[in-house]
Every structure is written in C-alpha cells, then in structure tokens.
Structure 1
Amino acid sequence: MTAGWPSALWLVRHGESVGNAAAADAWRRGAEVVGVAPRDADVDLTARGRIQAEAMGRWLATLDDDRRPEVAVVSPYLRARHTLGIALDGLPGAVPVRVDERLRDRELGVLDRLTVRGIEARHPEEAAARRRQGKFYHRPAGGESWTDVLLRLRSALADLRADHAGQRVLVVAHDVVVVLFRYLLEGLDEAQVLEMSRRAAPLNCGVTYYEHEGGGLVLRNYNLAVDGEGRSEEAGA
C-alpha cells in the first residue's frame, strides 16, 4: 500500500520550445521583446525539442515493465502535449493520458514576452514591485505569482493522490511546475525553492523522480538529463 500516494512520480519539463529559443535569442541581442507569434498555450517545440522528447521516450523504454509509467498527466499547452506524445510513441503498450489545466505554465500578464530589459523599460512600476515583493510573491498585472501557481498545484497534487494512489505517474509540464512540486513534496521554504531554481533550473526534458517510501514521496533524482541515446545523467541537485 502507498497510503494515498503514487508509487512513483516523474516530473518532466517539456522539450525546448520555440519560446525558449526566442527568449535565449532576445537575451543575447539585448532585446526588450521575445519574438514569438502564437499565444503561450500554442507555442510548439523546436526541432531540438522534438529530439529531446524522442530521447526521453527511449530512456523510458529502457526501464523494466514494472518500472515504467502506468498513467500520464500533462499540461494542456502544446509544447507539453507534444513532448508527452513523442515520448510515449517509444513505449510498448498504451499509457492513459489525462490533460490537467492546473499544470499550465505561469501566466505573466502584462509582462508576457518581455525580457528583463523590456520590463524595466516598459513597466518600471512592475520591476520595482518585483524588487520590493520578491519573485515568490510578486503578481504582475493580469498574471500570477509563484504562490498563485502553488494554489492550483496543491489541488492537482490532491487529485493525483486520490486518483492514482499506488500507480506510477508521469507528469509533463513546465519549469515552474516542476520547481513548485518540489516545494510541496519536500516541504521547502521560499528561500530554498528560489535558491534551487537559481542554481539548477529544470532542463528541457529534465527528469525529476520520486518513489514512495514511508509516509510520502522521496526524491531520487532531480534534473536527470537524457541524451540522444536515451542515457541519463543527473544535471542538478
């Protein structure tokens, strides 16, 4: 018995997205705006992101039958759904999939598609509020704070426990979701979760893995990087 917990839980950030690539390019150029046309929910994977998802599927396929995911839960955003679909294509047998909107990425409101330079130039009041309130609590106009995301993740975690107790569950979502699941599952505080995110932010298709032990889930790996051959190496702690 797992006392209301999944027997195993994988938390995976989606593969590299068009938005990730555009944000990196904007940072290199010192631009104010990230050049992405679709709305955030419709941002897809890059070619590299699809390769990452394929590698993750090959890695999952190397696990023994009784160690592979039995069910998957995914963010509704396209980049997450495509990552999961590509990865599951490499597995023998069908894995049931449930889409959960509570796993979506953080909503940035007026700061959407702006770099740090863009925020300072176009919304200096928001930049000042973030400095005053801190990253954890600052809620941009029309957007969410990290604590807002936590409210929906607490609900999602309760349903994971109720619906998938004793099962091996794969979750594919976004970097902030992975980080804040760690906050919930490990009882971290504000300083700890911010330092962990700063020091070792979730990689694209990086794997965070928990196993049930005692009265809860115990972290076994964080940010496991899967290469093109389906091999893995822990990239952050």
Structure 2
Amino acid sequence: MRPSLLVLVRHGHTAGNRAGPATPMSGWTDTPLDARGRDEAEALRRRLAGGPALDAVYSSPLSRALETARIAAGAWGPVRPHDGLREICCGDVDGLPIEEVKARHAPLWEAHLRQADDDFRWPGGESYRELRARCLAAIAAIAAAHPGQRVLVVTHAGVIGQILGALHGVPPARWEPFRPGNASLTSLSWQGERGVLLRFDDREHLSSSTRRPGG
C-alpha cells in the first residue's frame, strides 16, 4: 500500500480563540468562524488552489472546521464529516467561560496546566489518552481509504497535537508542544499505523496580522 499525503489544517479563528474573560472552553461547543476566521479560510483556499490536486476532503463535524473546509476546499469538495476528528470533549465545562472554570475547578485547572496525567479529564469529558486513541484511529482509517492520494483533513489543535505527539513519543497529556495556529498547514506522509511529519504549522498564506502564535 502506498503512503497517503495528509494535509492537516486547524480551523480558522473563532470567538473561542480570543483572549479575554468571556473566552469559552471550546471542545465540542459549536463555535462558528468569526470574520477573521473566514478571511483565513479564504487565504487557505487560494494557497491550496495553487498546489497539487486534492483527492478527498475530510473535516470534523463541528461548524468551525466544516466552514473552514468548505471555504478552503473550493472545487475539491465534497467535504466528508468524520466524528473522529472532533476536538477533545470537555464534558460539563464545555462552553463555559475559562475564567469561570478556573474559579469553580481550580485544582483541575492546575492539573490541566501541569500536562502530566494522561488520564486527566474534565467532569463528564474525555481523557487525553482517549483523545489520542480516537485521533490515531481516525487518521489511520482516512489514510487507508486513500492510498497514494493527497487528502485535506480539517480539524482542531488538540487533534493535530495528539497525532504529532504520538509520532514523536510525547505523552498524551502534553497538549502544548505541537499546537498549530489557526488555518495553518501541517503535512504528513502516512502508511499503515505510522506517519512521517513533512511540514508543521505553515502559515505563509496568512497575513502578518493573522499569523500570531496560538491564534
């Protein structure tokens, strides 16, 4: 079986990516793109249009990813939603303002920041270990369905971080080392159960005002 070229994209900017007291925990909460995010997706569309053809387009079913995929894919669609590409489920705190979560769940917030427990989960949510297993199963299934093809996969920072963490031997709880920016490109060559990182967090298609780290 020939390796697949997987072009991973983090969705464009949303209200959940803005710093501030009202910023929500954006796991499965369905936060749409804002104006900046739609501009980023359009810039991504122009970048992809100037490159090799895409054989398939997959996306997380959350609207911020689906909208990014539908704008960026252009004529390469249709977009195929895949549940395995969702962001981590934050359970009972999903959608709550981050400042409220810090106040109500201070010990859990500190444990989250330590990035030391692979089985950490928010109440009613998904653990980092479970997230990694889900992400790897999804990406392996997509690659297996498209041997030797170029596939666009629009998803979330947590998903991309878990996939790259697995490839580099980083524990699931370490969510920060491979955190890409909004609307960035990360490319992998994938065969069977393993991949090789070719490019990470490429934002050359974005303007300097939208290329801020972690945006």
**Partner residue of 2:160 out of 158, 173, 178:** 178
TM-score, with structure 2 as normaliser: 0.82
Structure 1 residues 111 and 162, CA gap change in structure 2 (3 angstroms): same
- Which residue is 1:15 aligned to? 12
TM-score, with structure 1 as normaliser: 0.75
Secondary structure at 2:121 match in 1: coil
How much has 1:49 moved relative to structure 2? 0.4
**1:94-136, Cα deviation, whole Å (9 max, x unpaired):** 4342110111111112332232x43332123423554677364
Q: Does 1:157 align with 2:136?
A: no
Structure with max Cα Rg: 1
Percent identity, aligned pairs only, is 33
**1:144-196, Cα deviation, whole Å (9 max, x unpaired):** 12211112113212312321111111100100011111123x24222895452
Structure 1 residues 149 and 79, CA gap change in structure 2 (3 angstroms): same
Whole-angstrom distance in 1 between the partners of 2:116 and 2:160: 20
Q: Does 1:70 align with 2:59?
A: no
Q: Cα RMSD between the aligned structures?
A: 3.2
- Which residue is 2:184 aligned to? 206
Question: What is the number of equivalent residue pairs in this alignment?
Answer: 209
Structure 1 residues 219 and 127, CA gap change in structure 2 (3 angstroms): closer
Letter in 1 for 2:141: D
Where structure 2 has 5 or more consecutive residues not aligned to the other structure, the ranges are none
Where structure 1 has 5 or more consecutive residues not aligned to the other structure, the ranges are none
Answer whether contact 1:55 1:226 (CA < 8 A) is retained.
Answer: no
Q: Does 1:54 align with 2:42?
A: yes
Secondary structure at 1:196 match in 2: coil
1:74-93 mapped onto 2 (5 Å cutoff): 74-89=59-74, 93=75
Q: Does 1:190 align with 2:171?
A: yes
Q: Does 1:114 align with 2:97?
A: yes
How much has 1:60 moved relative to structure 2? 0.6
How much has 1:143 moved relative to structure 2? 1.0
Structure 1 residues 195 and 84, CA gap change in structure 2 (3 angstroms): closer
Answer whether contact 1:11 1:173 (CA < 8 A) is retained.
Answer: yes
Letter in 2 for 1:69: L
How much has 1:75 moved relative to structure 2? 0.2
Whole-angstrom distance in 2 between the partners of 1:180 and 1:132: 16
Q: Does 1:34 align with 2:31?
A: no
